[in-house]
Chain A
Amino acid sequence: MPDVQSLVNEFILKLKKRKIEGSQATARQTAVLLRSVISQQRIPYTSQAAALIDAVRAVGEQLIAANPIELAVGNIVRRVLHIIREEDLSLTTAAIEGLNVSSVSDDDGDTDKDDTPGLSAAALAAAARSTLRPPSLQTLLEDLPDSSAIPHTSSSGGDSDGKSKSADKSTRSRKLKHDVIEAINELIQDIDTCHDQIAEQAVEHIHHNEVILTLGSSKTVLEFLCAAKEKKRSFRVFVAEGAPRYQGHLLAKELVARGLQTTLITDSAVFAMISRVNMVIVGAHVVMANGGVIAPVGLNMVALAAQRHAVPFVVLAGCHKLCPLYPHNPEVLLNELRSPSELLDFGEFSDCMDFGYGTGTPLLHVVNPTFDYVPPKLVSLFITETGGHDPSYMYRLIADYYSADDLVLQRKVASVK
Chain B
Amino acid sequence: MDPRRNPRSVIDPKVRHVGFLPPDRSLSTPSPDSHPSDDDDAALSPVIIPPPRHHSDNLSSPSSASHPVPPLAHHSPRYSEFSPRSPAASSPLSVVGSRLAADGEKETGGAGGSVRVLASSVPLSALTTASVVGVSRGITETVKGCVVEVQNEQPAILKPVKAKTTKAERRALQEAQRAAKAAAKVDATVDSNQSKSAKLSQQKNDPSSVISLDKKGHSSDRPPEKERKKDAPHPRMQYDDTSRVEKAKRKAVVKQTEVRNRVELFRHLPQYERGSQLPDLETKFFHLDPLHPAVYKVGLQYLSGDICGGNARCIAMLKAFQEFIGEKIMMADKVIVNHAVTKIRDGDVLLTYGSSSVVEMLILHAHELRKKFRVVMVDSRPKLEGQHLLRRLVREGISCTYTNINAISYIMHEVTRVFLGASAVLSNGTVYSRVGTACVAMVAHAFRVPVLVCCEAYKFHERVQLDSICCNELGDPDMISTIPDRKEIDGLNNWSNVDNLQFLNLIYDATPCDYVSMIITDYGMVPPTSVPVIVREYRGEHMWG
Contacts and interface: CB of A to CB of B under 8 A. Distances in A.
A367 interface: yes
Contacts of B401: 364-367
Contact of A357 (B397, B489, B502): B397
Contact of B435 (A272, A275, A301, A367): A272
Interface residues of B, number: 55
- Chain A interface main SS type: mixed
Contacts of A266: 380-382, 435-436, 480, 505-506
B545 interface: no
A273 B467 CA distance: 9
A238 to B, nearest CB: 8
A335 B410 CA distance: 10
Interface in B456-506: 467-469, 472, 480-481, 483, 485-486, 489, 491-492, 495, 498, 500-506
Given A272-B467, A367-B410, A265 B397 contact: no
Nearest to B499: A256
A397 B409 CA distance: 28
Contacts of B387: 344, 348-349
A256 B439 contact: no
Nearest to A268: B436
Given A253-B495, A272-B468, A345 B485 contact: yes
Contacts of B443: 300-301, 304
A20 interface: no
Given A249-B492, A253-B492, A267 B405 contact: yes
Interface stretch (B29-37, B124-132, B243-251, B388-396): B388-396
Contacts of A75: none
B399 interface: yes
Given A261-B500, A298-B406, A342-B486, A268 B469 contact: no
B500 A365 contact: no
Given A267-B380, A304-B443, A352-B390, A297 B486 contact: no
A372 B406 CA distance: 9
| Most interface-central of A267, A269, A335, A372 (chain B CB within 10 A) | A269
Nearest to A215: B406
B394 A352 contact: yes
A25 to B, nearest CB: 21
Interface stretch (A176-184, A239-247, A284-292, A317-325): A239-247
B509 A269 contact: yes
Contact of B381 (A267, A273, A301, A331): A267
B476 to A, nearest CB: 12
B488 to A, nearest CB: 10
A98 B483 CA distance: 69
B446 A364 contact: no
Contacts of A373: 409
A408 interface: no
Interface string A381-393: 0000000000000
| Most interface-central of B387, B409, B443, B506 (chain A CB within 10 A) | B409
A242 B410 contact: no
Contacts of A256: 495, 498, 500-501
Contacts, number: 179
Contacts of B492: 249, 252-253, 264
Contacts of A173: none
Contacts of A308: 442
B345 interface: no
B364 interface: no
B425 interface: no
A363 B503 contact: no
Interface footprint category on A: 35 or more
Given A263-B504, A268-B439, A272-B467, A366 B397 contact: no
Given A264-B480, A364-B390, A252 B410 contact: no
A303 to B, nearest CB: 9
A8 interface: no
B438 A272 contact: yes
B316 to A, nearest CB: 42
B407 A369 contact: yes
Nearest to A335: B410
B467 A252 contact: no
- Chain B interface main SS type: mixed
B380 A243 contact: yes
A24 to B, nearest CB: 22
Contacts of B520: none
A262 interface: yes
Interface in B379-435: 379-382, 387, 390-391, 394-395, 397-411, 413, 435
B410 A297 contact: yes
A270 interface: yes
B510 interface: yes
Interface in A104-156: none
A298 B446 CA distance: 14
A270 B407 contact: no
A273 B443 CA distance: 16
Nearest to A246: B489
Contacts of B397: 355, 357, 363
A265 B504 contact: yes
Interface string A226-260: 00000000000010011110100100110110011
Nearest to B489: A246
A315 B468 CA distance: 26
A279 interface: no
B502 A343 contact: no
Contacts of B491: 246, 249
Contact of B411 (A255, A270, A273, A367): A367
Contacts of B436: 266-269, 271
B506 A269 contact: yes
Contacts of A348: 387
A304 B480 contact: no
A270 to B, nearest CB: 6
Contacts of B403: 343, 366-368
Nearest to B438: A271
B394 A241 contact: no
B451 to A, nearest CB: 14
Contacts of A243: 380-381, 404-406
Contacts of B400: 363-365
Given A243-B380, A355-B397, A263 B442 contact: no
A271 B398 CA distance: 30
Nearest to B413: A331
Contacts of A73: none
| Most interface-central of A260, A298, A363 (chain B CB within 10 A) | A363
B410 A363 contact: no
A365 B435 CA distance: 24
A75 B504 CA distance: 39
Interface string A275-311: 1100000000000000000000110110011001000
| Most interface-central of A255, A355, A357 (chain B CB within 10 A) | A355
| Most interface-central of A259, A267, A276, A372 (chain B CB within 10 A) | A267
Contacts of A297: 404, 406-407, 409-410
A262 B469 contact: no
Contact of A363 (B394, B467, B498): B394
Contacts of A342: 486
Contact of A352 (B391, B438, B506, B510): B391
A106 to B, nearest CB: 69
9 contacts: A243-B380, A243-B405, A249-B491, A253-B495, A269-B506, A363-B398, A364-B402, A365-B400, A372-B409
Given A264-B480, A272-B468, A305-B439, 13 more contacts: A246-B483, A263-B501, A272-B469, A273-B468, A304-B443, A331-B413, A343-B404, A344-B387, A363-B397, A364-B394, A365-B400, A365-B402, A366-B403
Interface of A: 238, 241-244, 246, 249, 252-253, 255-256, 259-273, 275-276, 297-298, 300-301, 304-305, 308, 331, 335, 342-345, 348-349, 352, 355, 357, 363-369, 372-373
The 8 A-B residue pairs whose C-beta atoms are closest, nearest first, are: A268-B436, A298-B406, A272-B468, A300-B409, A271-B438, A272-B509, A268-B380, A352-B394
